[in-house]
Amino acid sequence: MEKKDIDWEALDFGYHQTDYSYVCDYERGAWGEGGLTTSHTVTLSECATVLHYCQEVFEGLKAYSTQDGRIVCFRPDLNAERMEESARRLIMPPFPKERFLEAVREVIKANAAWVPPFGTGGSLYLRPFMFGTGDTLGVRPSSAYQFRILATPVGPYFKGGVAPVRIIVSDYDRAAPHGTGSVKAGLNYAMSLWPHEMATSQGYDEALYLDAATRTFVEETGGANVIFVDFDGRLVVAKSVSNSILPSITRRSLVTVAREMLGMEVIERPVRFDELGNFAECGLCGTATVIVPVESICDYDTEYVFNGGSDEMGPVLGKLRETLLGIQEGVIEGPEGWVVEICKA
């Protein structure tokens, strides 16, 4: 199969329309047949619930080319399960896991020419999403929905690739205690646009959120979980005191990689902002970010600097990143079932 004529190494994390998306409608109490489409636009009633009450959930996962000529994707079963959970929280009919996995497979296969070649640092990002299409005017769930998957080739999330990023603590909150912070729903991201704008306009790369109730504990950024390495080389993972951190598949995978493959001690616990001086390394992790090192976190006149302020990733996060990417790209054998083969490249 001939690849598209693209400068793969120059890709950023942006939308490039590919050949196929996947679409399936829910009407009169049942999901339809669904299938691939070459249409990349959506026509909606002006009264659709997604437009007024943000009844929408989404996912993010990547397909990779491996060194030995296959196209694979990473733990799509966990995306399917998380999307079912997200849908339930927003009173939407879950798109069944087996159908989700089949749709992922179909859309990757159909867009195989868009999967960046091995060694370019790129991947095919899949964005499954689902939204209320019914014209319900009162604040009630829709009776009609659309599930779609769009595919787009991507490069690094941050402009600097894996260069360390600088973060500022947001004065605003991302998620209410016992709210929807742990749900992958578009409404949480609308909340984060203003704080993100504030952060970047002050010269930072990202905003960090603290727990909304006490503003004591570190939660996450608008698009990634936060992980730390202490001076004894242990991986410390920030746990929410109010169930408002998104359960990152990357973070859960890193915990397993650290414990079971690298023999590291892992501690999952609430992390106070005022103890950040106890950490040697800090990183952001997620599907889009993979692992990006954090150079510093600033809150007014307090600044914590990690890895000695170096412009390179620290050794422990570097090892974790190399191992995780190695598994995702089929170079290192990971735990059973993590890497799912889709087709030949």
Q: Shortest Cβ distance from residue 248 to ligand COI (Å)?
A: 8
Give the position of tokens 């009919």. 93
Q: Is 179 in the site for ligand PLP (CB under 6 A)?
A: no
Secondary structure (3-state) at 160: coil
Give the Cβ contact number of residue 277 at 10 Å. 9
Q: Which of 151, 288, 297, 316 binds ligand COI (CB under 6 A)?
A: 288
224 binds ligand PLP (CB under 6 A): yes
Q: Across the strands, what pairs with 218?
A: 210
Can residue 152 be called a binding residue for ligand COI (CB under 6 A)? no
Give the DSSP H or E segment for 88: helix 76-89
Judged by CB under 6 A, the residue of 93, 122, 164, 286 near ligand COI is: 286
Of the candidates 241, 197, 236, the one whose C-alpha atom is nearest the C-alpha of residue 320 is 236
Kindly indicate which of the ranges 84-92, 220-228, 233-241, 262-270 contains the residues binding ligand PLP, using the contact rule CB under 6 A: 220-228
Write the DSSP symbol of residue 250. H
Report the residue from 286, 293, 330, 334 that binds ligand PLP according to the rule CB under 6 A.
Answer: 286
Q: In the complex with ligand PLP, which residue's Cβ is closer, 35 or 335?
A: 335
Least distance in angstroms from the C-beta of 79 to ligand COI:
9
Q: How many residues bind ligand PLP (CB under 6 A)?
A: 13
Using the rule CB under 6 A, give the single segment among 44-52, 88-96, 156-164, 217-225 that binds ligand PLP.
Answer: 217-225
Question: 207: part of which helix (H) or strand (E)?
Answer: strand 206-210
Beta strand 165-169 with 206-210 is: parallel
Would you put residue 245 in left (φ > 0), alpha (ψ -120 to 50) or beta? beta
The single residue among 56, 173, 211, 220 that binds ligand PLP, judged by CB under 6 A, is: 220
We find the least distance from the C-beta atom of residue 246 to ligand COI, in angstroms, to be: 9
Query: What span, in angstroms and rounded, lies between the C-alpha atoms of 24 and 36?
Result: 9
Is 180 an interacting residue with respect to ligand COI (CB under 6 A)? Answer: no
Q: CA-to-CA distance for 150 and 159, rounded, in angstroms?
A: 23
Q: Which residue is nearest to ligand COI (CB)?
A: 60
State how beta strands 235-238 and 266-269 pair. parallel
Smallest gap from residue 224 Cβ to ligand COI (A): 7
**What gap in Å lies between CA 228 and CA 238, rounded to an integer?**
8
What residues are paired with 123 via a beta bridge?
154
3-state secondary structure of 133: coil
Residue 249 binds ligand PLP, judged by CB under 6 A: yes
Q: Applying CB under 6 A, does 225 fall inside the site for ligand PLP?
A: yes
Q: Does 223 bind ligand COI (CB under 6 A)?
A: yes
Beta carbon nearer to ligand PLP, 261 or 345: 261
Residue 328 in contact with ligand PLP, rule: CB under 6 A: no
Q: Binding residue for ligand COI (CB under 6 A) from 49, 142, 287, 328?
A: 287
Q: Which residue in the shown chain puts its C-beta closest to ligand PLP?
A: 286
Options 19-27, 138-146, 198-206, 283-291: segment touching ligand COI (CB under 6 A): 283-291
Nearer to ligand PLP, 220 or 281 (CB): 220
CB-count burial class (<10 Å; 0-12, 13-18, 19+) for 253: buried
DSSP string for 20-77: -EEEEEEETTEE---EEES-------TT-HHHHH--EEE--EEEEE-TTSEEEEE-HH
Q: Is 248 in the site for ligand PLP (CB under 6 A)?
A: yes
3-state secondary structure of 298: strand
Query: Among residues 141 and 247, whose Cβ is nearest to ligand PLP?
Result: 247
Q: In 3-state terms, what secondary structure has residue 233?
A: coil
Q: Name the site residues for ligand COI (rule: CB under 6 A).
A: 60, 223, 286-288
Q: Name the site residues for ligand PLP (rule: CB under 6 A).
A: 60, 220, 222-225, 246, 248-251, 286-287
